Amino acid sequence: MEIVERVRQGDVRAMARLMSLIENYSPDATLALKQLYPFTGQGLIVGITGPPGCGKSTLTDQLTQEFRRGGKTVGIVAVDPTSPFTGGAILADRIRMQQHSLDAGVFIRSMATRGHLGGLAKATYDVVNVLDAAGKEIILVETVGVGQDEVEVVKTAHLSIVVSVPGLGDDIQAIKAGVLEIADIFVVNKADREGANKTVTELQAMLALGPERSEGNPPIFETVAPQGQGIAELAQGILARQAHLDREGFRQTRQRERSRALFLELFQERVTRRLLEQAIANGSLEETIERIADRDLDPYSAVEELLGKAGL
């Protein structure tokens, strides 16, 4: 396939087009991804998550600059939400990343959450694989900033950064459920604001409360992203943490966990799509939904019936 060759050579248009095919569920995307898969697994995938407005885009921008200084090529996937009402989206993360738009060593792609059947994580992972196969050494995945999807997306990364800011009050509450556990590195951004020390202390206290992690507790970095303060230390910290995880043999465990999560995700998506396509094609889906709404049929039996028809 020509597109596969071009992606491997880092051809920007081929990469961009393949990403669109992925987002549009094109069968051509699957064909290309099959051939690209053996060439993936080289790049370091870093997930960046945290509440809206905490500075994820600016941090991504500054980290990119730092990694570029170190001679590494960078791929960025920036996710913004799709409106559940209109299906449209405004993807504006590039505003903070303008300084890299003319750098051939940086590829930035904005993604909308859309209504991905089978989860955003799979589509994001496929796009990350394109960047990986194209030879990008560091791949930064910036998530939307709210909700359960974040945990899913960062599960596809080698290393997850959870960003927090002082003065949110409920901040610690927000990171209690799940996000605390996925962090490999914490960043307290906007650290020039009042209360930064308190936020750091609270994070330390939260970590001390939890069970000792086998890979060691995540480090906490303080940054002021627009001024670049603390960025060099953070970039160093990312590489050091990765080296630490590698040394202790956590990379293999993680690779396996990622492969499991992604296989299951893909499997789910494909099975769901196939069955739904069948049900839509023979017109039974709308009729079934109507019957469920009228209490003529319960949804549990309806699902069993659908699976039964497919011989499952």
Partner 1 sequence: MGEERKTRVLVAKPGLDGHDRGAKVIARAFRDAGFEVIYTGLRQTPEMIVSAAIQEDVDAIGLSCLSGAHMYLFPHVVKLLRERGVDDVLVFGGGTIPDDDIPKLKEAGITEVFTPGTPTSVAIDFVRNHVGRRKR
Binding region for partner 1 (CB under 8 A): 12-13, 15-17, 19-20, 23-27, 82-83, 86-92, 94-95, 98, 101-102, 107-110, 112, 114, 273, 276-277, 280
Q: For 253, what's the count of Cα atoms within 13 Å in the CB-facing half-sphere?
A: 9
By the 10 Å C-beta count (0-12 exposed, 13-18 middle, 19+ buried), 179 is classed as buried
CB-wise, 29 or 179, nearer to partner 1? 29
Minimum distance, C-beta of residue 90 to partner 1, in the bound complex (Å): 5
Minimum distance, C-beta of residue 26 to partner 1, in the bound complex (Å): 5
Count other Cβ atoms within 10 Å, centred on residue 3: 20
Contact 24, 31 (CB under 8 A): no
Count other Cβ atoms within 10 Å, centred on residue 170: 9
Angle at 183 between CA 178 and CA 186, to 5 degrees: 125
Minimum distance, C-beta of residue 122 to partner 1, in the bound complex (Å): 14
Count other Cβ atoms within 10 Å, centred on residue 81: 17
Secondary structure of residue 75 in the 3-state scheme: strand
Minimum distance, C-beta of residue 109 to partner 1, in the bound complex (Å): 6
CB-wise, 19 or 266, nearer to partner 1? 19
Pinpoint the alpha helices (H) of 134-230: 149-155, 171-176, 179-182, 196-209
CB-wise, 17 or 244, nearer to partner 1? 17
CB-wise, 15 or 203, nearer to partner 1? 15
Minimum distance, C-beta of residue 226 to partner 1, in the bound complex (Å): 15
CB-wise, 26 or 197, nearer to partner 1? 26
